[in-house]
Structure 1
Amino acid sequence: MSVTLCVGFCLLWLKADATPAGFSEAVIQSECRDRYLWLHVASTGPPPQFEAVDGGGIHSLSEPLASRCGYTISTLRMGGYTTVRASYYSCYTQNQNDKVFTFSINVLLSDATGHWSSRHVSTSCSPAEPWSPRELVCEEDYMEVSVSRDVSCDAQQGGGGGGQAWNVAASLAQQAATSTWQLMFLQDGGQAVAMSVTEAQSLGYSVMVTSRRVVLRSPYRQPHSQELTVHGVPVEVVQASLFLRQKLAVVMIDVSLACTLNSGSFDGARLLWDVPRVMTPLVGGEGRFESRSLGLGVEGRLLDRPTAAARGFSLDLHGDLVQITVPFGAEGGYRRSLVVDNVYSEMYVISLLYEHVFSLLHDDGSGVETRHRLFRVLDTPLRCQRPITIDQTVSDDHQFSVYLGNIPADVALEEVKVNGKQLWTAEAAEERSHSVGHVVHTNGSHAYTLRVPFEDAVVHRMNLGEGVLQFSLDINFTLTIVPHGDSYHHHTFITARLHDAFPPELQAECTEGGVTFSVEKTPRLGSLWEVGVGQEPLTAELAAQRGYRLRNESQSITLEVPVSSVGYTYEDIDLLHFYGTFKLLLRDSQTLEVQVSTSKRCLFKTKEMIVCSADGFMTVVTTPTATWPTVHPDKTSLLDRSCGPKQTDGSSVLFEFSLDSCGTRAMVGESYVVYENEIVQDRHLIADGPAFISRDSQFRLTVRCFYPLNAVSRLFVDRIFRSETPGCSN
């Protein structure tokens, strides 16, 4: 008579021990956790490599050996580190009666030069909680089940699918059982395949039998695995049992495996992961299913309910499914931000742990507790986050106000360019902090406010007529992800208009000595207009240079221009009077387009003067009778004796001649052209024997006009003189 024994399955728990002495926590940390050793390696170079060491030598833990032997080398490197989870039942680990597990691992690190060095980790660990009858682990790259050898039940009540397939397996086990352990796989259609442990290991499986437990480990998608759908979730299943003959009995231990394959989904705000509440392939057959506890953890550690709730995690039952939700950016995960096509993009990754403890109770009161643990890395697709700009400008405030929002917490404003010119940089923020403000929101995002006065030199201005001025900003914000420095740009164009923006009026009046102008300042618009004399802006320096008297007061500007100052145009000159005209301009200070022009023509008494006109004439009024003995004005002439005075009286004389006539001499200096002539009177001589007698004075008066060389357009070519500005006399 044969007796068949069957047992159930398992899950994991967590425990933290001190970091071994001699290792820098900044580089390598190791920690004994319940059911596995945890290694944490921080590195900036290539990913570290790992080796297991035992009495048989050194074994490189690269794929596929790592997954076959119970080592999970995490690919989650967003935090700049690599983690390793080594199962207590991993290959090359020393096992002392299923109570003490000793690991010996080399960590290979590469420096900046590509040189590899080795650090050794040797640690002994013990389970923090007693082993459950069955413990099942779904790791990232393998499935593992360990089952107690002491728990048994009738073959007809076993899990693993039950029914006809299980009966076929039991029958085959009774026929093929030997005194050594064998492994049997159940296939679709009720087929069963038995093989030795050595054969199974050659196919990639790992089988271990200790004094207390049996262990089966299988990488995903092995030849004997099946993919099923359980309540809409894809599940990979390996239905297997270990068996051997002991005297008259056949011991048959169910080592079936079942792990979900889904990687979750993302609804735009949360990661969602569905897990079947009842994993049918593991609880088939007769019996009553009873759920004991559900747990959720991060990075291989279970969280208590208050901590999970504080992070926004939820674990809810929805019919036959357990739905796990994780908010985007929740504590325990990692956010990665980057720039894709000038758009800020980010993704979120988290390593979750799900644990379900349940039992299958039979009518006779027996039952087997199962701990089922799933490790799963969930990640979101790239999520774009574009800045927004809001124009908050109020024209009456005479300044632009722009809100730049939806800026992630790891992004900083680096530079602001307006109309192609740099307005603000983060490095010089203290110098112009008034132009950019920072706003922090409670959700972790932040924003910036940009304020630019209308009269700022970077602002473009357009006069639309009828007193309407349009101001515009073409803004380019440069945003940088901190700390890795990827930058992207956000562009916006903003306009604002001012109505009733007429230029101020210019008032002018004649005085005895010149012309006086007054300009009333317009509140807050004064900087929009520029007062000019010809091509030059009216400044205190220009006024001092030319002899103007300028008073710049709070409400107005007053300019007194003496009649002898530069800038006048003189007309109708005779020996008694002449007209002097002075023009003052009001220009757009940015475009320099003339908005208002006011000319004042005044009659002045003629005194001694030299006028050098822009059209190439020199007019001279002088009083030669002031000499002693006196000179007769009507007897004077220029160097060319045929050029006499245009007008004389008893004491004064007026000459008017073109600069290319009457013997005028021209001389060119470095920056000026000088035209020079002389007013002369030759003495009338009377012969008296060998001597000459004259009652007339010898008179010579040199007159000169200076013209800037760059203002004279033609010189000595066609003898036609043209100058952009009047000359100055001497």
Structure 2
Amino acid sequence: MMYLILLTGVTLLCLGAPCLAQVRSFPPGVLRTECRARLFWIWVDKTYIGSSPWQLEALNDTGFADVMQTNRAAQCGYTITRDVYSNVEIRISFLGCWVKNKNDNQFDVKLQFRVNQGGRIGLFPVSMSCTPSETWDVREIVCEENYMEVSVTRIIPTVILNILSLSGTVGGISQRWQVWFNNSLGAIPAKEAISRGYGVNATVTRVLLRAPYNTPESQVVEVGNFHLDVVPSNMLYSQTLLRIIVDTTIACPRDPPVFTASALSWLSPVVLSPLISGEVTDKTFAMGINGIIQNSTLIEEYKYILNHNFTTVDVTIPFGAPGGFVESDILNNSYVTTYSIHLILQRNWLGINEDDSTTHTSYKPVVAPMIVQMAVFLDHTSKENRYFNVSLGNFYSDVNLKSFIIHKLPLTLDRLPLRQMTTMTSINPNNTYVFYLTVPFSDPLVDQRYLGGLKRRYRLYVTYVLTLVTKNKDFTYTDVVECVIEDVVPPIINSYCAGDRLIIDLTRGNMDYYWLPYLRELPLTNALITSQNITVRNSEAALYIEVPYTSVGLVYEVVKLAGSLVRLDFTLRNNQTLETEISHSFNCPLPTRTLLCLANGTMIVVVDSSVTKPVFNAQKAHLRDPNCTPQEATNERALFNFAAYTCGTTRRFDGDYLVYENEVTFDRQVLLPGQPIISRDSSYRLTVRCRYPIRDTLWLGGQYKSGAIEQRLAVTQAKVLRRRARTHVAELKIAKDENFTAFYQNGDFPVSVQPTDVLYFQADVQTPEPITALKDCWATTFPGQDGITRWDLIVDGCDAETETFSTEVQTSPDWSSRFKVKIHDAPTSQLFIHCKVLICDATSQGQSCPKTCNQTELLMDKSAAPLSTEVVSAGPIQIRAHHNGVVYQNVAEKTPSWTWMLSLGLAVISALTVGAIFLTVRLFTK
């Protein structure tokens, strides 16, 4: 038991003793020491100690270690801090604890750093010896970070020097010394003041008082608009026949610096009135950085400011000035900096007596608040050089240029010369950096827009990608510059008619290479050229286009028997915005053809009785619906102009085509019944047929018969091409259920529904990145999107509800747009659904097409316009008659069975009679 107690005691003893520590030396370059003014200065490199726990210990002659921590360090004149680069910095007053003083002319100190490095204790001893570079002033006051100190020269007879000469520890001061704090305490012994946390000492020539900040005896005194920390005190020495009183009042400025956007200002009063009992003369001021007083040449060179007037001393330092340290960071894609600097302000003044001189030194470490450095983007573009020249600054040396993004295309620095772009870096007088970029107007990444007349606007969208080297963080800055120049050579458009073709002959300028040719609303693509038999010859100097009269995109302004007037609308549109830059329209007269099937669902038919044998009166011809008579007619010719879903037109499906068919009929007139059947009119029937492909194409055809003569019209072909985005293909699908788990395929059309069913629609894009938003949706009875009769389903993104239909726009978990349509009162037996869809980019900074009613036009700003707008269609949808197999009968009066049998027999007899009469008339006609 005694053995365990002994072992435990030895262990506890060694924990606090050097027996467990190893004495080591700092590696070369880690430790720096220097004597400055009245201070020992010590630096230890931050990378060596790192985050290891450590403490500073002062050693006396016997090797006793006094740990210098917060309160003890302030009492003893030790300041443990960090310099602007975060290295350990220690400042020790020459009059501090455990400093060996040789007649106030030489000062020696022994220290050791106790460092815990991974559980191993290292002792790093440091010894310094300093001699003051200047003689002591009568009164010297130091305002350090953690304490205030005053030392005053004492004039004492030689006979008592041995009594008053005290060195060594603070606790060794003679009890004849007392401290009077000018308050209710009265005079207290020096040792009692030491117990209160003060440093009190008397050396061979000086009396010392050191006070931590915010002691109970301290006061805050206002001097004008400023505040001072003041400890009013005197030190008294009493002995028989001898009494010495030394004024040891201390006053230190306490107001924090004032920060502006570009500098910090440390302001304090010119006269520290608690320290002055009378008038002062010869006031001088000096400023220093990091413990070194600066001369006027350096102050001017570094753009420091040291000014004073009757009331205020102003020390102003521009942010980033030499002597300070700028620490940078990236927050929310912004470049932010924190500027830190250690300032010194030294005052010297004389009292009324020449030997009443005071040196007052204040140390002020300043760390400015974090500042967002607003990048300075400047446009130096010269129109004459036809180059964009832009710059971005002003950054400190820890920022490097990494790359660019120009009009959404990333460009590394090594790729710039390949595009005749250049970059360079320049340094401002304040040591900040500016990054320049030049881009030729002719580069395809430069946006060009025709402004009318001879003006063209060049616009550069540029993003700087920069990196913070010290922390390996990237950030960006985006801006736009533009330049307007009168350098446009517009194209020259000539147009003329040649037979059955309309011709555009365009002489190129210098802008139309960036424009797309359109025939009305259709882009002149290879698919349109091939399908419509359009002739195109394209060269660097000219564009030649021949458009047949049957092509889509033509407008039949006048359709008469004498001839038709056809208009071609030709436009050149911006290849990015699709806005019309130049438009040109012209008309050509053409003979009216036998059959025309227009893309909007209009059928135009001309019948000519002069080619039949015998002839008939064309004025009396009609369509299947006898009420549909000619729009214009003579005895020999008749013109019919009607919508394909009217006048008794029938519809049927033939593979992927929807066929509309009607007949032009001339009925022979017969005499009254009972009289001989005599007629001068021949029998005539002309079958006209238009074939519309369900998707994309429209086939036209016609056929007529006249007696024994049959003539087939030439079948012509015209394609109606849906305008599509260049990189996305949209489609409108019909779902089989409300969960959108299955959709109708091509072979399922026409889709057959009941008059009160609910239909479910989904607009898709065949690439995963973009998303869609519904702009408008409507229903027609014809595949054409611009049918004469239409019913609105969605208007400007909002649900539409009428007596016929009601619509509900639904949200989708993916990129699709969905809506459902409830049929209330079906207006027709066949429907086609069309939607205008906005296609937007889901990858643009988290922004997308809105899906809120009335906001489909409010996408974002100029950088967030839709990638494209498409019109998509689905159908046909056939609506069945609502009988459900139920036979309706009058319950109150049931009809006998013999009644309907008699009616059926009479109907059969009547049909046979009519057939016989019809056959007889035909025989006589022939």
When normalised by structure 1's length, the TM-score is 0.60
Following superposition, the deviation at residue 333 of structure 1 comes to 2.1
Following superposition, the deviation at residue 36 of structure 1 comes to 1.4
CA contact (8 A) 1:263 1:377 kept: no
Q: What code does the residue aligned with 1:37 have?
A: W
SS of 1:306's equivalent in the other structure is: helix
Q: What code does the residue aligned with 2:363 have?
A: F
Q: What code does the residue aligned with 2:661 have?
A: D
Distance 1:551 1:200, change over 3 A: same
Residue matched to 2:363: 375
Residue matched to 1:65: 72
Structure 1 segment 622-637 matched on structure 2, within 5 A: none
Residue matched to 1:85: 91
Following superposition, the deviation at residue 186 of structure 1 comes to 3.7
CA contact (8 A) 2:516 2:573 kept: yes
1:531 has 2:505 as partner: no
Residue matched to 2:542: 556
Structure 1 segment 386-405 matched on structure 2, within 5 A: none
Structure 1 segment 178-577 matched on structure 2, within 5 A: 180-188=174-182, 193-208=186-201, 215-227=208-220, 234=228, 236-241=230-235, 243=237, 245=239, 250=242, 252=244, 254=246, 256-263=248-255, 266=258, 268=260, 271-274=265-268, 276=270, 295-313=286-304, 315=306, 318=309, 324-335=315-326, 348-355=339-346, 367=355, 371-378=359-366, 407=394, 409=396, 422=408, 430=416, 434=421, 441-443=428-430, 446=434, 482=468, 504=491, 506-511=493-498, 514-523=501-510, 525-526=511-512, 529-538=515-524, 548-560=534-546
CA contact (8 A) 1:50 1:60 kept: yes
SS of 1:507's equivalent in the other structure is: strand
Following superposition, the deviation at residue 72 of structure 1 comes to 1.6
Residue matched to 2:109: 101
- Measured in 2, the distance between the counterparts of 1:153 and 1:263 equals 42
Residue matched to 1:648: none
Following superposition, the deviation at residue 375 of structure 1 comes to 1.3
Residue matched to 2:773: none
CA contact (8 A) 2:691 2:700 kept: yes
CA contact (8 A) 2:492 2:508 kept: no
Structure 1 segment 114-129 matched on structure 2, within 5 A: 120-129=123-132
CA contact (8 A) 2:223 2:269 kept: no
- Measured in 2, the distance between the counterparts of 1:722 and 1:316 equals 86
Distance 1:486 1:560, change over 3 A: closer
CA contact (8 A) 1:75 1:82 kept: yes
Following superposition, the deviation at residue 104 of structure 1 comes to 1.1
Residue matched to 1:167: none
Following superposition, the deviation at residue 616 of structure 1 comes to 8.1
Q: What code does the residue aligned with 1:65 have?
A: R
- Measured in 1, the distance between the counterparts of 2:496 and 2:293 equals 92
- Measured in 2, the distance between the counterparts of 1:671 and 1:255 equals 104
1:22 has 2:26 as partner: yes
Distance 1:591 1:449, change over 3 A: same
Structure 1 segment 46-65 matched on structure 2, within 5 A: 50-52=55-57, 54=59, 61-65=68-72
Aligned CA-pair RMSD = 6.7
Highest RCO, 1 vs 2 (Cα 8 Å, sep ≥ 6): 1
Following superposition, the deviation at residue 591 of structure 1 comes to 3.3
Structure 1 segment 577-616 matched on structure 2, within 5 A: 583=568, 585-589=570-574, 590-593=577-580, 596-599=583-586, 601=588, 614=599, 615=601
CA contact (8 A) 2:42 2:89 kept: yes
Encode CA deviations 1:6-65: one digit per residue, 9 max, x unaligned: xxxxxxxxxxxxxx963375xx54323232132245369879753326477766544223
Residue matched to 2:908: none
- Measured in 2, the distance between the counterparts of 1:94 and 1:528 equals 87
- Measured in 1, the distance between the counterparts of 2:113 and 2:253 equals 30
SS of 1:99's equivalent in the other structure is: strand
Q: What code does the residue aligned with 1:222 have?
A: T
- Measured in 2, the distance between the counterparts of 1:50 and 1:219 equals 20
SS of 1:330's equivalent in the other structure is: coil
Following superposition, the deviation at residue 271 of structure 1 comes to 2.3
- Measured in 2, the distance between the counterparts of 1:243 and 1:591 equals 97
Distance 1:594 1:360, change over 3 A: closer
- Measured in 2, the distance between the counterparts of 1:599 and 1:104 equals 99
Distance 1:308 1:499, change over 3 A: closer
Following superposition, the deviation at residue 618 of structure 1 comes to 11
Distance 1:146 1:127, change over 3 A: farther
Structure 1 segment 677-716 matched on structure 2, within 5 A: none
SS of 2:216's equivalent in the other structure is: coil
SS of 2:70's equivalent in the other structure is: coil
Q: What code does the residue aligned with 2:588 have?
A: R
Q: How many residues align?
A: 618
Identity over the aligned pairs, expressed in percent? 19
Q: What code does the residue aligned with 2:127 have?
A: S
When normalised by structure 2's length, the TM-score is 0.50
Structure 1 segment 642-721 matched on structure 2, within 5 A: 660=661
- Measured in 2, the distance between the counterparts of 1:452 and 1:24 equals 55
CA contact (8 A) 1:415 1:478 kept: yes
Distance 1:195 1:482, change over 3 A: same
SS of 2:130's equivalent in the other structure is: coil
- Measured in 1, the distance between the counterparts of 2:781 and 2:345 equals 100
Following superposition, the deviation at residue 534 of structure 1 comes to 5.0
CA contact (8 A) 2:100 2:107 kept: no
Residue matched to 1:627: none
- Measured in 2, the distance between the counterparts of 1:318 and 1:203 equals 39
Distance 1:354 1:508, change over 3 A: closer
1:142 has 2:147 as partner: yes
Following superposition, the deviation at residue 127 of structure 1 comes to 1.1
CA contact (8 A) 1:101 1:126 kept: yes
Following superposition, the deviation at residue 381 of structure 1 comes to 6.6
Unaligned runs of 5+ residues in structure 1 are 1-19, 110-114, 155-169, 171-177, 621-632, 635-656, 685-698, 726-730
CA contact (8 A) 1:53 1:105 kept: no
Following superposition, the deviation at residue 211 of structure 1 comes to 7.2
Q: What code does the residue aligned with 2:56 have?
A: E
Following superposition, the deviation at residue 260 of structure 1 comes to 2.4
- Measured in 2, the distance between the counterparts of 1:180 and 1:721 equals 116
Following superposition, the deviation at residue 507 of structure 1 comes to 1.6
Distance 1:545 1:616, change over 3 A: closer
CA contact (8 A) 1:345 1:382 kept: yes
Distance 1:566 1:457, change over 3 A: farther
Residue 43 (structure 2) aligned to one of 26, 33, 39: 39
